[in-house]
A and B are shown apart, each in its own frame.
Chain A
Amino acid sequence: MPLQTRALAEESTATPADPAQSSQGEFKDAPEEIIIRRVRMGSLLEGPSPFVTVIETDAYQGEDKTLADLLATSVGVQLRRFGGEGERSEISIRGSTASQVVILLDGVRLDGGQAGSVDLSTVPVELVERIEVSRGSGSIRTGSGAMGGVVNIITKKPSTEPVNSFSLNGGSFDTYRASLFRSDQKENFDYSLGYSGFTTDGDYDFERPSFKSGGIVIKPDPSSATRINNDSERQALDAKIGREFDFGRLQFSDNIMYMSRGEPGLASGSGVNAGQQAYAHERTTRNLAKLDWTTQGVGEFGTSAEASVFHRYERDHFKDPFPTLGNPIDVETKDSTLGISLSSDWVLDFDSMGNAITLVADARRDRLSTSDRPTVRRDNAAMGIQEEASFWADQLTFVAGARYEDTEGYGGQWLPRVGLVVEPWSWLRFKANSARTYRIPSFDELYYPNKGFARGNPNLKPEKSHNSDVGVEVNFDQVFFLSAVRLSGSVFHNEVEESIVWMVINPNTISPRNTGDATVDGLELLFSADLGPFLSLSANYTNLDATLDKTDAELPGRADDETNLRLSLTPFAALKLVGELHEVGDISVSEGGNVTIPSRTTYDASVAVDLSSLLESTRGMQGMPSPLWLTLAGTNLSDRSVYDALFFPQPGRSVTLKLEGRW
């Protein structure tokens, strides 16, 4: 089965099953690679019990997807997009806020101390090899902030054989993307070098929302507008060089990103431009450098060890000569993190019991220097241990771990987690997890300078979370005419204490406050199967019930449910047809829970031709990149008005022509 047909519904423990195998699928292949003994450098996977989705970007060749697109269709995940490609997009996992999700780039946190959240539009998917989405809290590797889950974005890596690839896109709103990648080995060094460039005018038209209250509809005048000051440019470079030594492998990697974009902001005002900011602009430069040492075989029982030193630096310059509130803004921010992490895996096998022990330790210093406030810094150190005990040929696996994390100003926190996997038959698996985690307030939440309309709150307490989930996974290689059948269902329950919310504290000022407890309950369902040799189907569904405990009001910013459906048709190897349906339920956009963006259904489709295979078979042409996909992709084909956040319009129908190849 083609892997791409699976990624929507794929769970960590799955790799494409071989249809030639027995009628009952096996979970064994993937665990051997990814989970059992769990030695996979750069991976966050922490045992068999968490509910994890792995998205391989290669599976989407012959399509046109951004990182946000790939994550948005993952079960349990909701994307909050503030516009089209190149504009801010944030992730929510299992009803979390964006700052309650840790996003890693090759194992290093992308968020600095300032905001605690990551703008996904800053990461070009062309440089990404794989995305691991771990749903649910509790991570001995990531600690603070991993309340909703963890996303690890793994960039393309060096290879021992030459690999070259490129892509060129041109699409609606003068949007262009280009990428080049090469990896190879020279003498004892292997390396990879990837570049991605992106630019867009972003000047799409959009329908402005009407409001219905008290039986009347208030229509905007004019009813539509054009997104202004929405041009965006992004350049990104990812370089890695590594060498095998007797003592292990050393690899240095550097990821550089530069983004320059207009910030039109809310389209909520009056006038032909609907109140958009015409002059606000942001320039961001980010560098993430990392030196890794990894080795296999440590002593008698150790299987691997890894040590990393990393430095993340982000410089942001925001200017708005005429903001809606207050004086002209011209703020420069330098947000950096210097850190080290160590981890090692150990195996102790007995006759009827396997033991895998993971030890981790890490430390980092976050530093924030801005032109509008004093420089602040914060040290954090942590260590963790996890034991994974397997019984009866892995039919029962028990995972227990704990991380102790000490953050300057907040003292130490124990973050325990337990997990259980029961696999009575090779095609059936039950999983359950329970964990506790927390989130240290960001520098902005603590120290945002008093600018009249907003100020930080140095007295904030950390958010805390108790998360549990239970689920089942079923895998059949063949069921009647269906093959590679995978079914998964899970329910989760998150209790968040001391939720931090920016709220109005007096007639003129908003400030973050610990506002009490919130509860999120939800359901995740997945299904994928091949319907014959050419047609594959995958679908997932997420349901959320997220409420503030005190008042039972719905938490804003989350859709109450989401459904993703994907159909892939490959009648022959040189042709790929993909159709997708995305249904997003009602989104509450007010803290009172009484203002709702209605549900929507959008459709995407693409058709791709592998020119190399086509021309080789019809014209006998050889030597060209293979595959060489020419793709025509359309998103939001029915041209729906799409809003994830009130007054932040997204584009209607758009079309992209893409050429990508590999040699």
Chain B
Amino acid sequence: MGRQKHSWLTLLLSLTSLAVLGGNCSFSSGGGSGDKVVIEIDNVDDRCLSLAGSFPPSLITLPNSGAAEEGRAVVVQFSPQTVIALDLNTVPPSIISPKAISTLPPDSDSDGINDSTKSQSEGFFPLSPVLGEAMALSDDLILVSASNYEEVIFINPLTSELVGLMVENPVSSSNHVANDYPFLPDEGTSALRTALSTRKCIFPPTPVDSLGNAIALEPRCDDTLPSYFTTYTSGKALAAGRLFVATSNLADPGALRFNPGTVLVYPFNPLGVTQPDIHTPVIFTTGFNPTSVSRYETPGGRELILVVSTGAIGANPGIGNVLTESFVDVIDASSRRLVATIPLGLAGPSFSPLAIEPNGRIALLGASSNRQLYAIDLKPLNDPDLYNHPGQILVLDGTKAGFPDARIFYADSPLVLPDRADGPAEDQCAGLTTVAMNYSGQRAFATDFCDGTLSVVEIDLAASPPIPVPQDRFTLGRSEKILAPLTVDSLSLLRAPANAMVRTGIPGVDYSGPDVFFLAGLPEGAVCGIRMESF
């Protein structure tokens, strides 16, 4: 009996060991590779092409260099992250990307190290890029801003593949410190990269954040000077052979704390080398939170960069959400100098690029927290004297003698869009608007995220109106209920329009399909096209 007991105890111990060993039998476990899960996405609206994930961040037209390519656009998809080429001639828009495309790869800048590992090696969290605004350079090259990993990615929109360009980090000089760009190639070297890093150490001349607090030291930059790394890469534009990229520099989302806004400057040459501007690598914006960047050429042929600083904003509806003032900064692209600014007050413009009238007289802006539009007069920017005051930033609000007020609609005097009767209450969702100008500049189309509307603004710029263009030259036209409002009754319905875009060309002449396009954010993303002028 005793021997038998010993036997079964031995057996028990042996089997216990076996069970423990079973824990290591990873050779027998699988990764769910027996098949691929394909998530099917159906269209829910005849006008709209459904996308994966909510809130696609960007919709742009391609330059359409050839007649056969008319009506091409690109949408940036947020989850999963990729860009998709569209044909706007069909209803709804159809995809012209290859039958199978891939999402953004783990090594988005093709430096040979995946992004998260690279981030960790540089002392950051394991970061990966989050795609944002796109800008088209040609039909086969777009630049897409990416936050988190902070870069501008080069993508062929027609194939959704990354494009390699030579990127250089010049030898340090008086205004350029190579080590301030930890994700660029090593100092003095160039490399074929598929993205341009916008992660840079910033040493602000006035080291105060949006809350009025002193900016701390960033040891990874310098352990003696207040500094910070750029964050939230946003809008960009190309002018005078340089790429101007805004970084919002949101430092503390919970406390709504922004570091001073910056515009990074890179001489950009797709056929040569792209590198930081060794003379003027960074330009500080007047306001906090620069979001959109637009190129504007004055009638006199001067290339300007217009940077909209939204100001510090929170996550609540209404004007109370805007915590600091908003500005449109005017940068002379050739001299890389901030020459003027147009203060908009507590407006909080939305992040979309300016809608610039084809003749260049005015530009419209949407609002991030209101059902409003703002507008500026661009004619004062054609004054050569504006550029003859080095060391000064001229304020174009009418207070500086000799320089007119460039504000048409601003925080204290906005263009208020009509309120949808069955829309959400103001204290729930007060509005987020985007705006696009039609081919003639006589009509603008404004989407409202909350109401699900598209409002028409009629613009009369005939007979060269005075500066600033009088407000009565702007008339509210009809308001279309293009999507459901953001109310409890609209659950499951397509809603939250944004990123208004007008197709290039004359509707009914150059094309016959829809002329106004926008993105729906909920419940899943969608690209929608409607006819506002093309019948």
Interface residues of A (CB under 8 A from B): 168-176, 204-207, 209-224, 268-273, 275, 278-279, 321-322, 325-327, 451-453, 501, 503-509, 513-516, 548, 550-551, 553, 589-598, 611, 615, 619-625, 628, 630, 634, 636, 638-643, 646, 649-659, 661
Contacts and interface: CB of A to CB of B under 8 A. Distances in A.
Given A211-B39, A213-B52, A653-B28, A505 B424 contact: yes
Contacts of A176: 20, 23
Interface in B72-106: 77, 79-82, 84, 94-95, 97-106
Contact of B116 (A272, A505, A595): A272
B41 interface: yes
Contacts, number: 332
For B102, B115, B430, B486, which residue has the most chain A Cβ atoms within 10 angstroms? B102
Given A595-B39, A659-B16, A271 B29 contact: no
B428 interface: yes
Nearest to B522: A504
15 contacts: A170-B25, A214-B84, A217-B38, A270-B103, A270-B130, A271-B115, A271-B128, A327-B255, A452-B254, A506-B428, A596-B40, A623-B1, A634-B28, A653-B32, A657-B21
B16 A327 contact: no
B41 A213 contact: yes
Contacts of A269: 79, 81, 128, 130
Nearest to A511: B428
A175 B23 contact: yes
Interface string B11-27: 11001101111111110
Contacts of B104: 221, 270
Nearest to A215: B95
A657 B18 contact: yes
B156 to A, nearest CB: 15
Contacts of A506: 315-317, 424, 428-430, 432, 450, 486
B272 interface: no
A636 B32 contact: yes
Given A595-B40, A641-B37, A273 B126 contact: yes
B15 A630 contact: yes
Nearest to B23: A170
A31 B88 CA distance: 68
A607 to B, nearest CB: 14
Contact of B492 (A210, A271, A322, A591): A591
A272 B488 contact: no
Contacts of A593: 44, 492
Interface in B209-262: 252-255
Contact of A209 (B39, B43, B51, B106): B39
A303 B32 CA distance: 54
A596 to B, nearest CB: 5
Contact of A650 (B4, B20, B32, B489): B32
B116 to A, nearest CB: 5
A453 B99 contact: no
A592 B524 CA distance: 7
Nearest to A173: B29
Given A221-B106, A659-B15, A505 B492 contact: no
Nearest to B44: A594
Contacts of B39: 209-212, 589, 595-598, 646
B91 to A, nearest CB: 13
A649 B102 CA distance: 19
Given A271-B128, A548-B491, A592-B523, A654 B30 contact: yes
A279 B124 CA distance: 13
B265 interface: no
Given A278-B126, A505-B486, A551 B493 contact: yes
B32 to A, nearest CB: 3
Contact of B37 (A209, A216, A452): A209
B472 interface: no
B103 A591 contact: no
A270 B22 CA distance: 34
A168 B103 contact: no
A312 to B, nearest CB: 31
